[in-house]
Amino acid sequence: MLDLKFIRDNLEAVKASIEARNVQADADFVARKYDERNALLKELEHLRAQRNENAKKMKAAPDEQTRSALIDEGKRLKTAIPDLENKLETLEQRLYTEATKVPNMVHPDAPIGPDESANRELKQVGGIPEFTFPTRDHIAIGEQLGLLDFERGTKVSGTKFYYLKNQAVLLELGLVRFALDHLARKGFRLMLTPDIARESIVDGIGFNPRGPESNLYTLEGEGTCLVGTAEITLGGYYANEILAAEELPVLMAGLSHCFRREAGAAGQFSKGLYRVHQFTKVEMFVLCTPETSEQEHERLREIEEELFSSLEIPYRVVDTATGDLGAPAYRKYDLEAWMPGRGERGDWGEITSASNCTDYQARRLGVRYKSPEGNRHVHMLNGTAIAVSRAIIALLENYQQADGSVRIPRALVPYVGFEQIGPADD
């Protein structure tokens, strides 16, 4: 969440950010209730001081009449203070509930627009492949080569579940190891994270753990959720802790399964592996000082580009429009790979994102660091290294061959042990 004083003191800018994101939040209410809370705190502090002073006077009362008056005053304060504490608690609950709806501020260079149609393309890397034969999408390729089985995935687990088979299993494992090796060389601490997180951590990161808008699976009666990304478990790692300044930046790379309900996801571009209920992902997460967060954001984007340049997948970088930003993100870059199987002529599809969430998540999670000015909230950033299911789409579709086989990019061959996937017997 944003600092409440910041909301009150920068009300018009906060309201402009809310409007740019096209979300519903009442910053006026937050500012008003923040002032009311401060007034109640001041009043409560005054009453407590009166209670302490009254107790001292009772001990030194010169006569019974004075003592009796002080006892009556003590009884009044004994009732008034709890009443005011209850009033304050109720007000703070309302204040917090509404304050958590207020999204982060937006970067001044982020494109203003209601949805992804307003995203700004920053650059394209790699040539779009030209095929001399009719191209197929990853579903047709995967099923013909015995790599994917959606029909039995649906039979066993439901829609948007699938089986990876044969070389596709090694392809997933190879992509994971390829990404982890690259991140280890970049100084990231490798972590295998839990696939479950407490709802308090999920909420702290800025995800909605419950309700019709939630994209997560909750575990009934447990107060926990299956994670939709390792951003949740990596972000919660230092919850309610104070780091030493010399520890920053903290660079973590987390491997996890990701579970998403994908409620309402439909359309031809959601078919196959593009939007599924379970997939494997390597996530980058950074904790740093406010002064270095924009630099760290560029570092995450550069690493994502290095990975997909090494795989020789054509991609473009887009600056995400305000209306398509999640509530915690100050600015977000997406990498979109060229996917020849999209539509009749191919199209771009998102494969990674990198977000600078400033201190929005850290404030909710209570993650701070020691500085000469006192304890300050860290800035938190996250970025996708490899979302395996979408990487497989890009590989199968861009490297398909006229004979029905799929070539493996040179950088990945040492990780999978073969140069080509040919027709399978199964």
Q: Distance between CA 312 and CA 102 in Å, rounded?
A: 40
Task: Flag the least confident range among 31-40, 53-62, 314-323.
Answer: 53-62
Residue scoring higher pLDDT (198 or 70): 198
User: Which residues are designated catalytic?
Assistant: 260, 275, 350, 353, 390
Quick one: pLDDT band at residue 425, thresholds 50, 70, 90? Answer: very low
Q: Outline where 214-292 has alpha helix (H).
A: 230-235
Does the structure show a pLDDT above 60 at 424? no
Q: Mean of the pLDDT values across residues 272-277?
A: 95
Cβ-Cβ contacts under 8 Å for 129 (sequence gap 6 or more):
314, 338, 340, 398
Bond into 209 cis (ω within 30): no
Average model confidence (pLDDT) across the chain: 94
DSSP 89-155: HHHHHHHHHHHTTSPPP--TTSPP-SSGGG-EEEEEESPPP--SS----HHHHHHHTT-EEHHHHHH
Kindly state the tokens that stand for 186: 């970049």
**CATH for the stretch 4-99:** 1.10.287.40
Quick one: pLDDT band at residue 252, thresholds 50, 70, 90? Answer: very high
Residue scoring higher pLDDT (333 or 51): 333
Does the structure show a pLDDT above 80 at 269? no
Q: Distance between CA 258 and CA 279 in Å, rounded?
A: 5
Q: Outline where 193-352 has alpha helix (H).
A: 199-205, 230-235, 293-310
160-199: pLDDT as tens digits = 999 999 999 999 999 999 999 999 999 999 999 999 999 9
Q: Provide the sign of the torsion angle of the four alpha carbons 380, 386, 388, 392, taken in this order.
A: positive
Kindly state the tokens that stand for 58: 């009772």
Q: Mean of the pLDDT values across residues 1-6?
A: 92
Percent of the chain with pLDDT over 70: 97
Cβ-Cβ contacts under 8 Å for 247 (sequence gap 6 or more):
369
Percent of the chain with pLDDT over 90: 83
- Identify the pLDDT of residue 270: 76
- Identify the pLDDT of residue 267: 63
Task: Flag the least confident range among 110-119, 189-198, 256-265, 294-303.
Answer: 256-265
Quick one: pLDDT band at residue 99, thresholds 50, 70, 90? Answer: very high
User: Which strands sit side by side in the sheet containing 242-243, from one edge to the other?
Assistant: 242-243, 368-369, 376-377
Quick one: pLDDT band at residue 209, thresholds 50, 70, 90? Answer: confident
Task: Flag the least confident range among 29-33, 210-214, 280-284, 385-389.
Answer: 210-214
- In this prediction the pTM is 0.92
- Identify the pLDDT of residue 271: 87
CATH class of 116-421: alpha beta
Q: Distance between CA 73 and CA 55 in Å, rounded?
A: 10
- Domain layout of the chain by residue ranges: 4-99, 116-421
Q: Mean of the pLDDT values across residues 307-325?
A: 97
Does the structure show a pLDDT above 70 at 265? no
- Identify the pLDDT of residue 268: 64
Could you count the other beta carbons within 10 Å of the beta carbon of residue 425? 5
Does the structure show a pLDDT above 60 at 426? no
Q: Distance between CA 283 and CA 163 in Å, rounded?
A: 22
Q: Distance between CA 376 and CA 120 in Å, rounded?
A: 33
- Identify the pLDDT of residue 312: 97
- Identify the pLDDT of residue 338: 97
Please calculate the CA angle 226-2-320 and round it to the nearest 5 degrees: 70
Q: Mean of the pLDDT values across residues 308-334?
A: 96
Does the structure show a pLDDT above 50 at 123? yes
Does the structure show a pLDDT above 70 at 344? yes
Kindly state the tokens that stand for 50: 């009166």
